[in-house]
Amino acid sequence: MQAIKVEHLSKTFRVKRKEKGMKGSIKAILHPQTEEIRAVKDVSFVVEEGEVLAFIGPNGAGKSTTIKMLTGILYPDGGCAKVLGMDPTKKRRQLAYGIGTVFGQKEQLWTHLTPYDNFRFFGAIYDLSEKETEIRIDELSNRFGLGDFINTPVRNLSLGQRIRCEIVASLLHRPKVLFLDEPTIGLDPVVKETVRELIRQMNREEHTTIFLTSHDVGDIEKLCRRIIIVNDGQIVLDDSVEHLKHHYPDHSLEEIITEIYKAKELTAVG
Amino acid sequence: MRKYRVIYKSVLMENLQYAANVAMGFFSYFVFIYIFVKLWEYMYRMPGERIAGYTKEQMIWYVMMTEMIWFGSNVASVANEVAGDIRSGDIAYRINKPYHYTLYILTKYTGEWSIRLPMYAVFAAVIGMVMVGPLPKFGLREVPVMALCVILGLTINAVFKLCISLFSFWIEDTTPFQWLYDKVILVVGTIFPIEIFPEILQPLFKLTPIYTVCYGPAKLIVDFSPEKCVEILAAQLLYLVGGCGVMLLVYRKGVKKLYVNGG
């Protein structure tokens, strides 16, 4: 079954432009100028249920814009997307029950509350009963090893502990699709490895579809079976990790991706 | 409704940690009230004199009540937080949850004033009793309906401020509009009752949020009458329904125009 289906998806932003200096600032008031930036151009792909997909590309390639369209945050200008059979822009709230999101650079937890209180909050937001929420908190707390700090306010947690809590918060309602936008950014290698193992375990045990964007090749290598590379809003490669490794037998995945980036004249991976 | 109850409870838990900070604002409130007590004591020279139909005690209690509403509901969620969320793009991480963003913000705001306002109410009652004495016609039986009127006033205020904030979807900065709205409420709405203004202006003020946000609740507290109560509650309900309609429309149109930095 298809978890995500994207057909000819496009998104254009209108961005203000200003000439340099004071003269430019005054001119921008009198004659405001805008420029159209096509962030996503005619992108099509399918992600099967239970698949772990890396959606990568250089900064400004259109990765986050695509994720935001798939989660119903941004409205596409053209094409269509279906996530779990739903149009994200038309059924955003209904879709929210079926998806989870983790944005490594943004906090969704309430920092003055403890992780436990946060999880109770998210349980209620996703309409889980109190009993269900407690069971799920216990289950995920054990799996993600939160026991030592589950009652410590989030603002006092380390980055690694916080990210683990963020992932647990996004998994409470058993989402069928999990969007991970740079989930391991800023983490030390040991914590990164822990987070990857937990994501892998979750995919294995709960059959969750994972849509991952990351500049960390380690994330891709350890988690993903398929890679889509985007640049300038377009897909430039869609292939399996296994197939890529088969074609470049003496190279690491990082070297392979760098080669592809160079061949496609993309800027270097973050 | 359970999710909004939990949002409310979470905000209460979060803000209870800062209850002591709220008390810091009592000083400003006290200075403000002290100045007005002295001003009205000077204006009311004859015992039993009335100005615009208010006795000295009613006039001072009126200011204390409107200022209590102002200080007790002066929180950032409906103004700065929403506009900031839209400008920074953080709204993207709030609207992808299964709740309505505007109701989420209104619930947060309610949780915030639920701690501040009762603290200011107790403080206002204490300094009012000490500096002015009890209100002559105040009846405890009417307290629930007065409380309802205050809550409706606060909610209407939040809806209007939220509407202004939501214009951040189109314009860079809504701060000047928030400032203007706040100053109109503060200067015209909280310091003097509507009856003190020229008669020609009074119907005009009754059409503004001043009537439902400040004047109505304070008027009922200082000079309760069943007729006035029905009139004010009816106006508040009309304002609330109309305001919510505008808010939802602006949100629905605005969210389609959302542009988020970095996608």
Of A94, A108, A125, the CB nearest to B99: A125
Identify the band that residue A270 occupies on the pLDDT scale cut at 50, 70 and 90. very low
* pLDDT greater than 80 at residue B248: yes
Residues of A in contact with B10 (CB under 8 A): 110, 113, 117, 121
Please say whether the beta carbons of B236 and B156 come within 8 A: yes
Any chain B CB within 8 A of the CB of A180? Answer: no
**Phi and psi, residue B137, nearest 5°:** -100, 10
Fold observed for domain A1-11+44-98+175-270? Rossmann fold (3.40.50)
Which pTM was predicted? 0.83
* pLDDT greater than 70 at residue B260: no
Please judge whether B263 and A127 are an interchain contact, meaning their C-beta atoms are less than 8 angstroms apart.
Answer: no
**Phi and psi, residue B61, nearest 5°:** -65, -35
Any chain A CB within 8 A of the CB of B121? Answer: no
Any chain A CB within 8 A of the CB of B6? Answer: yes
Which two structure tokens, joined as six digits, stand for A200? 């892998």
User: Quick check: ipTM above 0.95?
Assistant: no
* pLDDT greater than 90 at residue A150: yes
Note the pLDDT tens digit of each residue in A151-181: 999 999 988 888 889 888 988 998 999 998 8
Note the pLDDT tens digit of each residue in B198-232: 888 888 888 888 899 999 999 999 989 999 999 99
Give the CB-side neighbour count of residue A40, counting CA atoms within 13 A.
30
Please judge whether A66 and B263 are an interchain contact, meaning their C-beta atoms are less than 8 angstroms apart.
Answer: yes
Determine the Cα–Cα distance for residues B101 and B8; give it in Å rounded to an integer: 14
Q: Which residues contact A58 (CB under 8 A, 6 or more apart)?
A: A231, A261, A266, A267, A268, A269, A270
**Phi and psi, residue A61, nearest 5°:** -80, -20
* pLDDT greater than 60 at residue B25: yes
* pLDDT greater than 70 at residue B262: no
Task: Select from A6, A1, A2, A106 the least CA-distant residue to A62.
Answer: A6
Question: How much is the mean pLDDT over chain B?
Answer: 88
Determine the Cα–Cα distance for residues A268 and A264; give it in Å rounded to an integer: 11
Residues of A in contact with B98 (CB under 8 A): 93-94, 96-97, 125-127
- Hey, where are the domains in chain A? 1-11+44-98+175-270
* pLDDT greater than 70 at residue A124: yes
Note the pLDDT tens digit of each residue in B186-200: 888 888 898 888 888
Interface test with B, best of A14, A73, A101 (most B CBs within 10 A): A73
- Hey, where are the domains in chain B? 2-255
Identify the band that residue A269 occupies on the pLDDT scale cut at 50, 70 and 90. very low
Selected residues 239-258 of chain B with any CB under 8 Å from a CB in chain A: 256, 258
Any chain A CB within 8 A of the CB of B230? Answer: no
Burial A95-110 (b: 16+ CB within 10 A, else e): bbbbbbbbbbebbbbb
Note the pLDDT tens digit of each residue in A178-193: 998 888 887 778 778 8
